Chain A
Amino acid sequence: MKLSNILVAAATAAVVGTTSMAADIFVVGGKPDDPFWSRVKKGAEDAGRVAEAQGGSVTWLGPQNYDNLGPDAAELIRQAIDQGADAIVGPNWVPEAMDPAFQAVVDAGIPLVIYNAGGIEAADRLGAMNYVGAVDYKSGYAGGEYLAKAGHTNGACVNTLPGAANIEAFCNGFNDGMSDNSGTGSVLQLPATAFGDSTAVAQAVRAHLLQNPDINAMFAIGDQDTNATISGIQQAGKTGSVHVCGMNFNDSILANIQSGTQACAIDQQGYQQGFFAVSILNNHVMYGTTIPTREILTGPGVVDASNVDLVIAGVEAGAR
C-alpha cells in the first residue's frame, strides 16, 4: 500500500467518521485478550456491522490491566465523550468511581446502556436507557445451588478481584445458594494481581484446600480462574472429591465438563451482551427506537454434562 493510498484511506475514514446521521458507538469493556471479553467484543463488533453499513462505527475501549479497574474504566468513559461518541455502552464495575463519569454521559445527552455489571438498579439510578446482562447475584446463586443440590455442601468462592462489586455479588450469591440448600459457603480472597495469573490462583487454591480439608465445592469467577482452580485441586490431590463450578466457559472448560473434571459452568452469554447493547443504541441513534422491556437478562444459564453437547454445537456454529 502506497503512502498516498494510506492518506486517502485515512481521509476517507475521517470523512465517514464525521457524517452526522451515522452512529459512532463506544463500548467500554475488559481487556481484549481476556477470553470472556473477546466474546463480548465480538458480539459488539458483529452488531457494529449494521452500524458500519450505515456509515457508523463501533470502538472498543478496554483498560491496560485490571489493577485500577474503577478509575481506569471511569477515565475510558470520559474519553469516549471526548472522542465524540454518539452512544456509549459501559459496565458499572465500581459504582463509587464510575457513577460520576456515567452521569457526565447522561448530562451530555449521549444515549447510554449499562451492560455486564450493575443491574437495572444502576441503569435507573444513572438515567441509562437499559441494562443488558446477567444478574451477578443470581449467577453465583445458581452455582451454589447446583453444587449443594448435588451433595457438595462445603463451598469456597475464589475472589481474585476484591473490590469489584459484581465479583462480590457472585460470591455472596454462591454462599447464599449454598446455605439455602443446607450447605455452607466461604470466600478465598486473593490480591487483584492474581486475576488471570493461573499459577498464583492455582497455588492459592492448593494451599487453601490443604488447610481446609472439609471443602468439597469451589466457585471461580472467570474461565481462566476456573482452569487455574481445577489445576490447584489437582495439585492438592483432591481431583474427584472437590467439585468446581465457574463463571463463563471456553473450549477447554467444555471439554472438562464433558470429561467430568468440572461440574458446571454458569453462562452469562457475553456475546449477547455486546450484541444487544450495541444494537439497541444503534437503532436508537438512527431511528429513535427503544426497547421498553427493562433489564435484558442474558443469564444465568447452567452448562453441565446434560447439555454440554448442545452448547459445543452452538460454539461450532459461532452462536456461543
Chain B
Amino acid sequence: MEMMSALLRRPAAASILSLVGVLAFYVIFGGVDLGKLLNAASWVNYAARIGIVAIPVGLLMVSGEIDISIGAMIPAGAMSAAIITGYYEFPMIFGILGAIGIGVMVGLINGILAVRTTVPTLIITLATLVAMQGVVLAGSKLLTGSASVPLTAPGWAKTIFGQLMFGGSHQVIIVWWVIFAVVFWFVLHQTRYGNWIFAMGGDKESARNAGIPVNRMTIVLFVLTATSASFVGMCHAILFNSAQVSGGMNDIFNIIVSVVVGGVLLTGGFGSVPGVFVGTLTFAIVIKGIDFTTIDRNWSNLIIGVMLLTAVAMNESFRKLALTAVLGKKENAGDSVVAVAKNN
C-alpha cells in the first residue's frame, strides 16, 4: 500500500494511468487488436517526432516559461537543410549545421528577450513564431522560387537521421527520442541543474537569491527547445526527401498537450521527464490509435478532446494527492512544490 501510494505521488503516475485508460477504451469500445496496434510504427514515429521537442519544452515549462515558436522551428529546420543541401547542393553537413544553427539563433533571441524584458514568454515566442513563419516562407520563395524544396540526402545522413529501421516502418528518430529522454532525465533528476530548474519554476526571485544563474539557465533552455524543434524538422526532411514551408504548425498544440498530459504544471515547478515521455506516448496513441478502431473517423476529434480532458483531470487529482501526502495537510504553499519535485 505504501509502495502504491508512493507510485501515485510521482508526477508520471497520472500519465501512466492515462495510457492504460486510453488503451482500455480503444480495446473495449473500438475493437482494437492490441497486438496489431503495438506492432504498428505510426504512433511510435509520431510520438518520437513530437517527443523530442516535448522533453525540452517540458523542462522549460517546469522552469515556469513556455515556448510556442517551436511550431515555426520544425519547418525552419527542415527548410534550412533542404535549401542548403537540396537546392544549393552544398554537402549535407552544412545543411545539418544550418538547421541546428537556425535553432540556436532563434533560441538565443527568445532566451535573451525573456531575461532582458518583462514581457511574458508566451507573447515573446508568439512573436518569434509568427516572424519565423514569415522568414521561412519569404526566404524560401526568395531563394528557391518555390514553397517546397526536394532534398536527396547522402547515405550516411539517411542512416543517422532519416532511415526506416530493420526494413520496417519504424523511423530512426525513435532512437534519438530515447537518447534525448535518457540524457534529459539524467540532467533534470540527477544533477544540480535539474534542481535549479525546479527552483526557478517554484519562485524565480528566491532561486536567484539562492545563487542560481537564472538568466543563463533560461537562455539555455530556450536554445534547447528551438534547436530540438529544428533538429526534428531536419530529420523529417532527410527521411521524406523534401521540405515544405508550413510543415509542423499544428505540432505546437500537440507538443504542449503531450507535456501537460505528462504531468507538467503549466505554471511551473512540477513535472518529470518520464511523465512527459509517457504523456507523449499517450497522446500519440490517442491520435493515431483511432485509425485502428472500428469507431467512425468523423468522431475522432471529439474522442481526442474528451480523452485529453480526462487525462489532465486525473493529473490534477494526483498532483493534489502528491502535495498533500508529502506535507501531511491540505494547504500547500507555492514554494513547497519545489521541495516535492526535488524528491523525484
Indicate if the CB atoms of A61 and B291 lie closer than 8 Å. yes
Q: Which residues of A contact B46 (CB under 8 A)?
A: 75
Indicate if the CB atoms of B42 and A76 lie closer than 8 Å. yes
Give chain B nearest CB distance to A268 CB in angstroms.
22
Indicate if the CB atoms of B148 and A163 lie closer than 8 Å. yes
**CB of A316 within 8 Å of the partner chain:** no
- Give the one of A3, A59, A70 with max B CB within 10 A: A70
- Give the one of B29, B147, B240, B249 with max A CB within 10 A: B240
Give chain A nearest CB distance to B329 CB in angstroms.
41
Q: Which residues of B contact A310 (CB under 8 A)?
A: none
Indicate if the CB atoms of A162 and B244 lie closer than 8 Å. yes
Chain A residues 196 to 233 lying within 8 A of chain B, measured CB to CB, are none
Chain A residues 30 to 66 lying within 8 A of chain B, measured CB to CB, are 32-33, 59-62, 64-65
Indicate if the CB atoms of B236 and A71 lie closer than 8 Å. yes
Question: Quick one: given A6-B28, A10-B28, A162-B147, are A193 and B249 in contact (CB under 8 Å)?
Answer: yes
Taking a contact as CB atoms closer than 8 A, the residue among A7, A60, A64, A162 that contacts B287 in the complex is A64
Question: Quick one: given A61-B291, A82-B39, A83-B36, are A9 and B245 in contact (CB under 8 Å)?
Answer: no
**CB of B187 within 8 Å of the partner chain:** no
Q: Which residues of A contact B288 (CB under 8 A)?
A: 79
Indicate if the CB atoms of A97 and B246 lie closer than 8 Å. no
Choose the segment among B91-99, B120-128, B292-300, B317-325 that binds chain A (4+ C-beta atoms closer than 8 Å).
B292-300
**CB of B241 within 8 Å of the partner chain:** yes
Chain A residues 6 to 21 lying within 8 A of chain B, measured CB to CB, are 6-7, 9-10, 13-14, 17
Give chain B nearest CB distance to A204 CB in angstroms.
13
**CB of B137 within 8 Å of the partner chain:** yes
Give chain A nearest CB distance to B210 CB in angstroms.
43
Chain A residues 78 to 114 lying within 8 A of chain B, measured CB to CB, are 78-79, 81-84, 94, 96-97, 100, 104
Indicate if the CB atoms of A191 and B133 lie closer than 8 Å. yes
**CB of A296 within 8 Å of the partner chain:** no
**CB of A67 within 8 Å of the partner chain:** yes
Indicate if the CB atoms of A62 and B41 lie closer than 8 Å. no
Give chain B nearest CB distance to A57 CB in angstroms.
9
Taking a contact as CB atoms closer than 8 A, the residue among A10, A60, A82, A94 that contacts B31 in the complex is A10
Taking a contact as CB atoms closer than 8 A, the residue among B29, B41, B242 that contacts A6 in the complex is B29
Q: Once the chains are docked, how many angstroms separate the CA of A189 from the CA of B151?
A: 22
**CB of A74 within 8 Å of the partner chain:** yes
Closest chain A residue to B46 by CB distance?
A75
Give chain B nearest CB distance to A90 CB in angstroms.
14
Closest chain B residue to A84 by CB distance?
B36
**Which interface class (under 10, 10 to 19, 20 to 34, 35 or more) fits B?**
35 or more
**Which interface class (under 10, 10 to 19, 20 to 34, 35 or more) fits A?**
35 or more
**CB of B150 within 8 Å of the partner chain:** yes
Q: Which residues of A contact B242 (CB under 8 A)?
A: 70, 94, 96-97, 163
Q: Which residues of A contact B208 (CB under 8 A)?
A: none
Q: Once the chains are docked, how many angstroms separate the CA of A58 from the CA of B280?
A: 29
Closest chain B residue to A97 by CB distance?
B240
**CB of B206 within 8 Å of the partner chain:** no
Question: Quick one: given A75-B46, A82-B39, A97-B240, are A59 and B248 in contact (CB under 8 Å)?
Answer: no
Indicate if the CB atoms of B40 and A65 lie closer than 8 Å. no
Q: Once the chains are docked, how many angstroms separate the CA of A132 from the CA of B327?
A: 66
Prevailing SS type, chain A contact patch: helix
Indicate if the CB atoms of B246 and A67 lie closer than 8 Å. yes
Give chain A nearest CB distance to B233 CB in angstroms.
10
Q: Once the chains are docked, how many angstroms separate the CA of A189 from the CA of B148?
A: 12
Q: Which residues of B contact A70 (CB under 8 A)?
A: 240, 242, 244
Indicate if the CB atoms of B246 and A192 lie closer than 8 Å. yes
**CB of B141 within 8 Å of the partner chain:** yes
Give chain B nearest CB distance to A42 CB in angstroms.
11
**CB of A293 within 8 Å of the partner chain:** no
Q: Once the chains are docked, how many angstroms separate the CA of A103 from the CA of B141?
A: 31
**CB of B191 within 8 Å of the partner chain:** no
Q: Which residues of B contact A306 (CB under 8 A)?
A: none
**CB of A259 within 8 Å of the partner chain:** no
**CB of B247 within 8 Å of the partner chain:** yes
Q: Once the chains are docked, how many angstroms separate the CA of A193 from the CA of B75?
A: 13
Indicate if the CB atoms of B41 and A82 lie closer than 8 Å. yes
Closest chain A residue to B246 by CB distance?
A192
Indicate if the CB atoms of A82 and B133 lie closer than 8 Å. no
Indicate if the CB atoms of B294 and A13 lie closer than 8 Å. yes
Q: Once the chains are docked, how many angstroms separate the CA of A62 from the CA of B301?
A: 12
Indicate if the CB atoms of B147 and A189 lie closer than 8 Å. yes
Question: Quick one: given A96-B240, A97-B242, A189-B147, are A82 and B42 in contact (CB under 8 Å)?
Answer: yes
Give chain B nearest CB distance to A50 CB in angstroms.
19
Q: Once the chains are docked, how many angstroms separate the CA of A268 from the CA of B117?
A: 54
Chain B residues 205 to 243 lying within 8 A of chain A, measured CB to CB, are 236, 239-242
Residues of B within 8 A of A (CB): 27-29, 31, 33, 36, 39-42, 45-46, 133, 137, 141, 146-148, 150-151, 169, 236, 239-242, 244-250, 287-288, 291-292, 294, 297-298
Can you name 8 A-B pairs with beta carbons within 8 Å?
A3-B28, A32-B297, A70-B244, A78-B169, A82-B41, A162-B146, A163-B146, A193-B249
Please give 8 more A-B residue pairs, beta carbons under 8 A apart, in addition to A59-B291, A60-B297.
A14-B31, A14-B33, A67-B247, A68-B247, A71-B239, A79-B42, A82-B40, A192-B249
